[in-house]
């Protein structure tokens, strides 16, 4: 008990804005943790719903030493998360999206890795994607693609699920927080900055979170695409990257923009999809025909991993795709396709 009054093992930070529909489920999942030594910080980013009343209901169930509710004027979830990180007292910090909920052993299992391996600064796990009603869609297990989460591995993680992370407090003190100018990509930017400094990550190869996409987090795919483009631009502009990572720039841009193009298509932005696929054309490691085949195969793989099978006929029959094919044929007939590294503004 004395430890809980001083510094808990883990601080859980929930930054929320108008997400009262799911907030109780998130808080209840913290209460159900098998690791008892935690504190919970709920940072309310100017919600206009019943969020204050919901948190107040827990004041009789959770001691003041374990639950803190902070309300701020509307400044964005990145600022709210940073506020929570500044207030957190735990030896480790785990963030929880307000639409997500933890598996009961989440904190215990990730904390055990940090306790047993002091050289590890961050633990990442899989998650189960669910719909708005909480029904299972698909298990997301990124370690099957990238077994090692070094810089090269992090560059291929799309998306990074914030609720599946746990980071050691000592590493938080070495980097700035989440960049509010990067909605939809601030987590990747933050993790990459940690990795560049040498923060080592280990997989916990199991599901620790149930995640609702777009519940209380960025949902605008166009905004996310611009932010992620900025992150990749800024990252490869650094002068302190290992040569092996620098050589990965073209492939990273190709795979990142292809994923962004799929996400834009999935969310009803086919014109923007075309723009990003045109960008991948200039960074493709493949011949023209193979590049197009890779686009389709990648779209299908991304869709499967998201639990949303791709209708290939619908994609390839769309007017935007047909216009893209005409552009590809015209571009491929030029003497040189060249390599361009400039990104979208």
Same domain assignment for residues 65 and 148: yes
Query: Which CATH number does the domain housing residue 66 bear?
Result: 3.90.550.10
Q: Is residue 222 part of a domain?
A: no
Q: Is residue 339 part of a domain?
A: no
In sequence order, the 6+-apart residues with CB closer than 8 A to the CB of 100 are: 22, 26, 127, 163, 209, 210, 211, 212, 215
Instruction: Print the domain residue range for 141.
Output: 2-211
Looking at residue 334, what is its pLDDT?
67
Q: Is residue 99 part of a domain?
A: yes
Report CA 324 to chain centroid distance, whole Å: 29
Taking the CA of residue 47 as centre, how many other CA atoms within 13 Å lie in the half-sphere pointing to its CB? 25
Looking at residue 308, what is its pLDDT?
87
Q: Is residue 344 part of a domain?
A: no
Looking at residue 228, what is its pLDDT?
96
Looking at residue 213, what is its pLDDT?
79
Type and span of the H or E element at 116: helix 106-116
Same domain assignment for residues 170 and 249: no
Contact call for residues 74 and 45 (beta carbons, < 8 A): yes
Same domain assignment for residues 136 and 244: no
SS3 letters across 187-225: HHHHHHHHHHCCCEEEEEEEEEEEECCCCCCCCCHHHHH
Same domain assignment for residues 77 and 18: yes
Count CB neighbours of 341 within 10 A: 12
- DSSP-derived pairing of the beta strands 38-45 and 10-16: parallel
Looking at residue 333, what is its pLDDT?
77
Q: Which residues of the chain have pLDDT under 70?
A: 1-5, 214-219, 334-345
Looking at residue 341, what is its pLDDT?
38
Same domain assignment for residues 207 and 246: no
Q: Is residue 19 part of a domain?
A: yes
pLDDT digits (tens, 9 = 90+) for 21-40: 999 999 999 999 999 999 99
Type and span of the H or E element at 140: strand 136-140
Global confidence as pTM: 0.91
Q: Is residue 220 part of a domain?
A: no
Same domain assignment for residues 123 and 28: yes
Residue 168 φ/ψ region, left for φ over 0, alpha for ψ in the -120 to 50 degree band, beta for the rest:
beta
Q: Is residue 219 part of a domain?
A: no
Looking at residue 221, what is its pLDDT?
92
- Residue ranges of alpha helices (H) inside 267-318 are 270-281, 288-305, 312-317
Looking at residue 345, what is its pLDDT?
38
Looking at 181, 211, 241, the residue that finishes a domain is 211
Same domain assignment for residues 99 and 179: yes
Looking at residue 332, what is its pLDDT?
86
Same domain assignment for residues 181 and 82: yes
């Amino acid at each position: 008990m004395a430890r809980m009054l001083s510094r808990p093992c883990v601080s859980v930070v929930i930054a929320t804005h108008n997400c009262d529909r799911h907030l109780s489920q998130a808080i209840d999942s913290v209460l159900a943790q098998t690791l008892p030594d935690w504190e919970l910080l709920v940072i309310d980013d100017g919600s206009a719903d019943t969020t204050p009343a919901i948190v107040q209901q827990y004041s009789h169930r959770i001691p003041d030493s374990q639950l803190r509710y902070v309300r701020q004027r509307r400044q964005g979830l990145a600022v709210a998360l940073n506020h929570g990180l500044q207030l957190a007292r735990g030896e480790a910090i785990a963030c929880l999206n307000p639409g997500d909920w933890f598996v009961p052993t989440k904190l215990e299992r990730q904390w055990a890795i940090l306790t047993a391996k002091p050289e590890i600064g961050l633990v990442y796990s899989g998650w189960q994607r669910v719909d708005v009603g909480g029904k299972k869609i698909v298990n997301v297990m990124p370690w099957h693609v990238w077994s090692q989460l070094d810089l090269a591995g992090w560059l291929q993680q799309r998306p990074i699920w914030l609720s599946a992370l746990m980071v050691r407090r000592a590493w938080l003190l070495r980097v700035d927080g989440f960049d509010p100018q990067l909605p939809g990509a601030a987590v990747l930017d933050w993790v990459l900055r940690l990795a560049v400094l040498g923060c080592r990550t280990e997989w916990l190869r199991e599901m620790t979170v149930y995640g609702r996409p777009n519940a209380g987090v960025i949902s605008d795919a166009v905004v996310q695409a611009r932010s992620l483009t900025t992150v990749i631009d800024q990252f490869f502009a650094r002068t302190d990257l290992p040569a092996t990572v620098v050589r990965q720039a073209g492939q990273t841009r190709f795979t990142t923009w292809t994923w962004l193009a799929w996400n834009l298509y999935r969310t009803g932005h086919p014109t923007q999809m075309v723009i990003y696929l045109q960008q991948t054309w200039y960074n493709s490691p493949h011949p023209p025909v193979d590049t197009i085949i890779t686009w389709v195969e990648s779209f299908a793989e991304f869709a499967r991993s998201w639990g949303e099978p791709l209708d290939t006929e619908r994609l390839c029959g769309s007017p935007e795709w047909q216009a893209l094919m005409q552009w590809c044929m015209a571009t491929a007939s030029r003497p040189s396709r060249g390599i361009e590294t400039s990104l979208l503004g």
